[in-house]
Structure 1
Amino acid sequence: MIGFIGSVFSPWYAWAGRRDPHDHVCLNVATYGPGGRFAMTERGSRWLGTSADRLEIGPSSMTWTGSELVIDIDEWSGLPLVGRMRGRVTVRPRALTSVELPLTPDGAHVWRPFAPVSDIEVDLEGAGNRWRGHGYFDANFGTRALEADFGFWTWGRFPTGDGATCIYDADRLDGTHLASAFRFGPDGSAEEVEAPPRTSFRRSLWAVRRETRADPGTVPKQALNMLDAPFYSRSAVTTRLDGEVTTGVHEALDLQRFRSGLLKPMLAVRVPRRR
């Protein structure tokens, strides 16, 4: 789930010149496996409500209780499985971190991993959509379009025996490169570490380039395909970090492709808009 104010992947936001982020909001919800569904309905500013501890987007909301992030979902999924997506997801952080990582030297883009080590409880309507496990809660903030500063990036969150490791790699358009890795403990501790080498692995179904960090001699491998788009890949990936085999969520984003005007009409089918 991703809550957007200023939906960075929205064709409607791009066509509007990205002038008013509050008029382009949505709650993106995706489930995977048999019967997996995808919802990303964009809404105008009249559907947005915010306070210090609550984000409302249409009939859905995110509420911070002081110890939990409670996400109430009431959305419609798109093709191929059109239908109502309703229920609640509760994220319980083991602890909150103080990490705030600028992704560009001027701080125009910032990554804020609030709770890399969390417990999660999922209770959505439909078979197979009730479970408990480990979760993750972060946020990104920006004052410019992603494609204005980046050509390609990958991100990964990999659980470890005593916490989680998060890895950010990004090729900036000014020719510089972001390479950052943090090891998080269940007590909220955070340590920036030197990650193993960048290692390529098999491209996505849309041939999006993919790479992550891996110990020498290890080739990362996709364990589960989650979301495939012409410019974006989300998957569960197995790799080895500092001698520990781990499977985590991995994203690859090709912003050179996303910049193409040909993609915007395709995205409009997946991202319907309700003013």
Structure 2
Amino acid sequence: MFSPYYAWARRRGPADPEHHCALNVALYGERARRWAMTERGRGAIAREPARFEIGPSSLAWNGRELAIEINEVSVPWPLPLRGKVRVVPTAINQVALTLDAEGRHRWQPIAPCCRVSVDFDHPDLHWRGDGYFDINHGDAPLERDFQSWQWSRAATRTGTVISYDTVARDGADATIALHVDPSAQLDCIAPFAATPLRKTRWRIDRSARADTDAPVRVVSTLEDAPFYARSHLAARILGEDVAVMHESLSLDRFQRPIVQAMLPFRMPRW
């Protein structure tokens, strides 16, 4: 949905999204920091009910786990990025939530609670831990209906807590606050207090929701782009000190011509 090539194609008329597919891989850390998001056309994809191939990479579901085979080349430095990621949900959530008043945009936390194993050959990297898997889908470009959003997810002792704040162009802003337990029982909860955070180097606004009795701290900014930021936060949620994955998205920034012109440097097309 952030493909500049897809955006350019849509300006000429209806465009086929299957002609604009990519697997985005981002590794952060002292041992390895790599990024790949190579777009490929319809001739490089293959789709089956439980398998999706994008060039040399693939995603496959066997009824118990999602296996992601990664065989990409990173940018801006052309380094190999090869490995396997396995996502094992404790349960599957079947409920999709609408993000806008017209129902054009939907979000579904498919596996809010899951275990993840990461095994890379290039770079040599292995990890086991807690994970999360969701999807966004819709019937209109995001930038048409939204100005921005803030999203965060934290794993607690009782499940996953998610906060989702959208700023809509029609003024129908929305806040979603969810607690999802390991059985995928989804409960709407009262939104936590919003805390402003320091802006990124690209001057993207950030804010996060958490308990009011402890400060929210930016541990690290993992991704700092002209229209998007991914951050690791420390906060207290439901009385528990937790690590928070957070993203800020400015769709006003995304649709600026200069930003669109910069995107191919991070997202080549083969």
Specify the alignment match of 1:70 in structure 2: 67
Identical positions, percent:
40
Specify the alignment match of 2:97 in structure 1: 101
- For structure 1, which segment, 199-208 or 39-48, has the greater mean C-alpha deviation from structure 2 after superposition? 199-208
1:176 to 172, 189, 193: 172
2:236 to 237, 240, 244: 240
Q: How do 1:1-275 and structure 2 match up within 5 A? A: 8-17=1-10, 19-34=15-30, 35-79=32-76, 81-126=77-122, 129-274=125-270
Cα distance in 2, alignment partners of residues 111 and 71 from structure 1:
21
Deviation at 1:60, TM superposition (A): 0.5
Cα distance in 1, alignment partners of residues 188 and 110 from structure 2:
15
Cα distance in 1, alignment partners of residues 124 and 239 from structure 2:
33
Deviation at 1:171, TM superposition (A): 0.3
Please list every run of 5 or more consecutive structure 2 residues that lacks an aligned counterpart in the other structure.
Answer: none
C-alpha RMSD over aligned residues: 1.3
Please list every run of 5 or more consecutive structure 1 residues that lacks an aligned counterpart in the other structure.
Answer: 1-7
**Number of aligned pairs?**
266
Amino acid at match of 2:67: V
Cα distance in 1, alignment partners of residues 111 and 100 from structure 2:
22
Q: Given that residues 74 and 87 in structure 1 are in contact (C-alpha distance below 8 angstroms), is that contact kept between their aligned partners in structure 2?
A: yes
Deviation at 1:217, TM superposition (A): 4.7
Deviation at 1:246, TM superposition (A): 1.3
Deviation track 1:39-77 (CA, whole Å, cap 9, x = no partner) reads 000011111111211111111011011000000001000
Deviation at 1:219, TM superposition (A): 3.2
- For structure 1, which segment, 56-65 or 16-25, has the greater mean C-alpha deviation from structure 2 after superposition? 16-25
Q: Given that residues 239 and 246 in structure 1 are in contact (C-alpha distance below 8 angstroms), is that contact kept between their aligned partners in structure 2?
A: yes
Deviation at 1:129, TM superposition (A): 1.6
Deviation at 1:82, TM superposition (A): 2.2
Q: Given that residues 82 and 122 in structure 2 are in contact (C-alpha distance below 8 angstroms), is that contact kept between their aligned partners in structure 1?
A: no
Cα distance in 2, alignment partners of residues 40 and 127 from structure 1:
17
Deviation at 1:128, TM superposition (A): 5.5
Amino acid at match of 2:198: R
- For structure 1, which segment, 252-261 or 97-106, has the greater mean C-alpha deviation from structure 2 after superposition? 97-106
Deviation track 1:148-207 (CA, whole Å, cap 9, x = no partner) reads 000010111111111110111000000111100110111211111012122111111211
Q: Which runs of 4+ in 1 moved over 6 A?
A: none
Amino acid at match of 2:225: A
